[in-house]
């Protein structure tokens, strides 16, 4: 069926299919094609993703996926009551000596030149509201559980741990508020094309494909902090040298301002890992997934003191010279 979409609407005859990254892609005439279902994506968001993709491609990012126009000149096609777009990438051999920090800095530099207005996917200055909404939603779930005996071990852990993470979340919101009051924006702090959740694996693999459906417009600190968060929870023991290397690579092209350092710290304060774990648990019906998430939450709770220590020593670990505030109770 996917190959039918390529041939019927785009006149592309796929020679073979291959799994690259998270998706099946189709090879034809030296190019890779990816079919993306967009039935539930807002039209305004699709237009903005197109604008961002075209901007990055025109500013010499050869790894960015570009939207393909169909035979009728339109980018959106409807097949069997489902909407699709097709993305295109050149096929090439990946660079084995990739410096992720430096690549991310260059990506952000290109993204800052974007002229097209971005509204639907703009997250600049919205962290506090977004975190507050997410916190309110989780508090309603917690309140609904505390009046009945816990049915599962996960319920018990969630009920006992939520007040602690609520406090951490409130600290993160306050830290952003203080940062906006205390620190001056610099040219380095302009909004840019970022990722919903940036991590090392996103650009790994033979093709290093950069998919616009991963993107939002935000402060560059978003990507830096999410890379650090992901690396911490994958391997906290090797975090320090990896993190210092990544940050040095990034700053070899783009220095990080005091304002940005504080936003990075605020995002690391916000317990996104905890929120994702709890939300996924209560949104899945898979018993095996529930069991995995139960083990993940148990590990987060067991290692709470280690994460507090990481937050307490963060600025000194990464070599920030300027004295920046930490959260007192840590």
- CATH number assigned to the domain covering 2-92: 3.30.200.20
Quick one: pLDDT at residue 93?
67
The Cα–Cα gap between 193 and 222 comes to 10
Taking alpha carbons only, the member of 170, 99, 110 closest to residue 139 is 170
Quick one: pLDDT at residue 70?
92
Q: Would you write out the chain's pLDDT as a tens digit for each of its 330 residues? A: 677 889 888 999 988 888 877 788 898 998 999 999 999 999 999 999 999 999 999 999 989 999 999 999 999 999 989 999 999 998 876 666 678 999 999 999 999 999 999 999 999 999 999 999 999 999 999 999 988 888 899 999 999 999 999 999 999 999 999 999 988 887 778 999 999 999 988 887 666 789 999 999 999 999 999 999 999 999 888 899 999 999 999 999 999 999 999 999 999 999 999 999 999 999 999 999 999 999 999 999 999 999 999 999 999 999 998 889 888 887
What's the pLDDT tens digit per position in 166-219? 999 999 999 999 999 988 887 778 999 999 999 988 887 666 789 999 999 999
Q: Is the Cβ–Cβ distance between 197 and 226 less than 8 Å? A: yes
Name the CATH architecture for the domain at 127-317.
Alpha-Beta Complex (3.90)
Structural element, H or E, at residue 152: none
Residue ranges of domains in the chain: 2-92, 127-317
Q: Is the Cβ–Cβ distance between 296 and 281 less than 8 Å? A: no
Tokens of 273: 């890992």
DSSP 82: E
Q: What is the b/e burial string over 144-159, where b = at least 16 CB atoms within 10 angstroms of the residue's CB?
A: ebeeeeeeeebbebbe
Structural element, H or E, at residue 235: none
């Amino acid at each position: 069926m996917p190959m039918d979409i390529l041939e019927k609407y785009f006149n592309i005859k796929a020679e073979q299919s291959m799994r690259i990254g998270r998706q099946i892609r189709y090879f034809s005439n030296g190019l890779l094609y990816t079919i993306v279902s967009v039935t539930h994506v807002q039209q305004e968001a699709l237009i903005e993703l197109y604008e961002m993709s075209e901007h990055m491609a025109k500013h010499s990012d050869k790894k960015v996926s570009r939207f393909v126009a169909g035979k009728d000149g339109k980018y959106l096609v409807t097949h069997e009551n489902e909407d699709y777009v097709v993305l295109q990438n050149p096929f090439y051999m990946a660079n084995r000596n990739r410096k992720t920090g430096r690549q991310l800095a260059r990506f952000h530099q290109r993204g800052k030149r974007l002229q097209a207005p971005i509204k639907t996917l703009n997250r600049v200055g919205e962290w506090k509201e977004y975190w507050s909404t997410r916190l309110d939603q989780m508090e309603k779930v917690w309140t609904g559980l505390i009046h009945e005996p816990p049915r599962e071990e996960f319920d018990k852990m969630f009920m006992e741990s939520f007040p602690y993470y609520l406090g951490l979340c409130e600290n993160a919101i306050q830290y952003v508020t203080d940062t906006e009051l205390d620190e001056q924006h610099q040219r380095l702090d302009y909004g840019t094309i970022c990722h919903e959740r940036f991590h090392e694996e996103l650009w790994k693999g033979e093709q290093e494909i950069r998919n616009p459906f991963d993107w939002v417009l935000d402060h560059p600190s978003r990507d830096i902090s999410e890379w650090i968060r992901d690396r911490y929870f994958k391997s906290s023991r090797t975090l320090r040298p990896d993190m210092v290397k990544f940050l040095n690579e990034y700053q070899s092209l783009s220095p990080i301002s005091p304002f940005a350092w504080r936003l990075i710290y605020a995002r690391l304060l916000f317990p996104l890992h905890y929120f994702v774990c709890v939300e996924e648990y209560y949104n899945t019906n898979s018993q095996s997934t529930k069991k995995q998430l139960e083990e993940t939450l148990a590990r987060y709770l067991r290692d709470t003191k280690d994460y507090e220590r990481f937050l307490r020593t963060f600025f000194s670990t990464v070599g920030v010279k300027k004295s920046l505030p930490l959260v007192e109770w840590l």
